[in-house]
Amino acid sequence: MNIAIRNGRVIDPKNSFDRVTDIYIQSGKIASLGAIPPGFQARREINAQELIVCPGLVDLSARLREPGLEYKATLESEMGAAVAGGVTSLACPPDTDPVLDEPGLVEMLKYRARGRNQTRVYPIGALTRGLRGEWLTEMAELHSAGCVAFGQSDKPLPNNRVLMQAMQYASTFGFCLWLRPQDVNLADGGVAHDGEVATRLGLAAIPVCAETVALSHIILMAKETGARVHLCRISSAEGVAMTRAARKQGLPITCDVAANHVHLSEMDIGFFDSNCHLVPPLRSLGDRDALRTGLLDGTIDAICSDHAPVDEDAKLLPFAEAEAGATGLELLLPLTLKWAAETKLPLVAALSKITGEPARILGVEGGHLTPGSDADLCIFDPDHYWTIEASTLKSQGKNTPFLGWELQGKVKYTLINGNVVYVD
């Protein structure tokens, strides 16, 4: 269908484009920006006056809970949440049940996701069988089945020899390893940052060195093997500093942070708010500020939602027993805009962290509005304030630390392949 999007403020970070203009969509592709293509006849017009038109968001971590964990969420509910959040591409971690360690499972997931003609799903394959940290998976086969990278999700990889060999093997094929740095022994039993809040509330703590010790192993082995590594969900100031230094050495390392951690700190736990039980833990205000600095100077490439819908009962438990995680797909855009507003960052720079940059890390098309590319777009109202409530979220998971917050920026239209898949 031919669609004309009129008078929107078009922001395409990858092409450093920020101007009020029209976009023309033809045969699922972006035909042109500004000038109407010869012979173009719009079947549908979208008035984007006062709205911002940007590439569809690319989310580096969203758990869809299929296969196996449908009581928490289903592909259908979470794909609905994705388009409502303007997310047109997402990477899903392998910690499903069974885990994504066999090509057949990956193909099935891709097929089920594609069957809904919705957000593009890019599975992260399990690095080790069953995520048990012992045997490597058939990475090349999994790649052929559709995996774009390999990781352990939040499961530990305690054996450094296995990690080293995984890096060697992955780099043989040029695959990227997605690793969340956390030493299993140092973090054992912990549920909160080793700081004054855990001390006050008597919660078992995870020290910063749980992150930095693991990070030092990863960096040293990446240096020796030449493997490409993407660091997931960095959480500490010291972790940011180490990543910055490693990148300065020219190591092929990229890095993301969860939107929750850009805004929150241990203080938000208050009186045991289990919605703030997150992985990695919310750390100190100083750590949060260092994460923001890391985003600004490019040490951290991307912001992800770290979407993890949890059923309500699993949160109605004492803090340590409550399941970790927060729903996030629908909050990625407003939380990024909030960060931009608080740091007075131009929108084009802020939006790059959820469009062009994560697409580059994934190594997939998308995340930009270059004529000829797939028409994946997010059209949002930057001035629309809305309150985060269970009833305003499409995700089956209603658990988020931001419940009750008023956030700015609401998605009005989402387009994938030139099809309007969501209208607010």
Partner 1 sequence: MSNNPQLNKSGQLQHLLTTEGLPASILLNILDTAEPFVGVTERDVKKVPLLRGKSIFNLFFEPSTRTRTTFEIAAKRLSADVINLNIAASSQSKGETLLDTVNNLSAMHADMFVVRHAQSGAAHLIAQHVRSDIHVINAGDGRHAHPTQALLDMFTIRRCKRDFHNLRVAIVGDILHSRVARSQIHALTTLGVPEVRVIAPKTLLPAKVERLGVHVYYDMAKGLKDVDVLMMLRLQNERMLSARLPSTEEYFKYYGLTPEKLGLAKPDAIVLHPGPMNRGVEIDSVVADGKQSVILPQVTFGIAVRMAVMSILAGS
C-alpha to C-alpha distance for 389 and 402, rounded to whole angstroms: 9
- What is the number of residues in the chain? 424
Min CB(319)–partner 1 separation in Å:
5
Distant-in-sequence, close-in-space partners of 70: CB < 8 Å, separation ≥ 6: none
Hey, which residues does 422 pair with through a beta bridge? 414
Answer yes or no whether residue 201 interacts with partner 1 by CB under 8 A: yes
The one among 37, 202, 226, 363 contacting partner 1 by CB under 8 A = 202
For residues 207 and 252, which CB has a smaller minimum distance to partner 1 in the complex?
Answer: 207
The least distance separating partner 1 from the CB of residue 198, rounded to whole angstroms, comes to 7
Q: Among 151, 190, 195, 397, indicate the residue that binds partner 1 (CB under 8 A).
A: 195
Choose the stretch contacting partner 1; rule: CB under 8 A; options: 174-182, 195-203, 382-390, 405-413.
195-203
Residue with tokens 């390999």, as numbered in its chain = 150
Among 150, 319, 402, 413, binds partner 1 (CB under 8 A): 319
Closest separation in Å from C-beta 274 to partner 1: 8
136 pairs with which residues across the strands? 128
Q: Which stretch in 176-184, 295-303, 313-321, 408-416 sits in contact with partner 1 by CB under 8 A?
A: 313-321
- Residues known to be catalytic: 306
Q: Are the C-beta atoms of residues 284 and 266 closer than 8 Å to each other?
A: yes
Under rule CB under 8 A, residue 320 binds partner 1: yes
Residues sharing a CB contact under 8 Å with residue 178, sequence separation 6 or more, in sequence order = 124, 149, 150, 151, 229, 230, 232
- With b for 16 or more beta-carbon neighbours within 10 A and e for fewer, the 144-174 pattern comes to ebbbbbbbbbbbbbeeeebbbebbebbbeee
Q: Which of residues 236-275 bind partner 1 (CB under 8 A)?
A: 267, 270-272
Cis bond before residue 98 (omega within 30° of 0)? yes
CA dihedral 224, 293, 207, 312 (to 10 degrees): -110
Q: b/e for 292-309, b at 16 or more Cβ within 10 A?
A: bbbbeeebbbbbbbbbbb
The minimum distance between CB 283 and partner 1, in angstroms, equals 11
Stretch that binds partner 1, among 48-56, 202-210, 218-226, 370-378 (CB under 8 A): 202-210
**Given the complex with partner 1, which of 251 and 314 has the nearer CB atom?**
314
Q: Based on the shown chain and the rule CB under 8 A, indicate whether residue 207 belongs to the binding site for partner 1.
A: yes
Task: Please tell me whether residue 183 binds partner 1 under the rule CB under 8 A.
Answer: no
Q: 297, 313, 342, 424: which one contacts partner 1 (CB under 8 A)?
A: 313
CB 200 to partner 1: min, Å:
7
Q: Residue count at the site for partner 1 (CB under 8 A)? A: 23
Residue 174 is a binding residue for partner 1 (CB under 8 A): no
The Cα 189–Cα 132 span in angstroms is: 18
Q: Which residues pair with 256 in a beta bridge?
A: 302
Which single residue is written with the structure tokens 């296969």? 67
Q: What is the closest distance, in whole angstroms, from the C-beta atom of residue 266 to partner 1 in the complex?
A: 10
Residues contributing to the site for partner 1 (CB under 8 A): 194-196, 198-205, 207, 267, 270-272, 313, 316-321
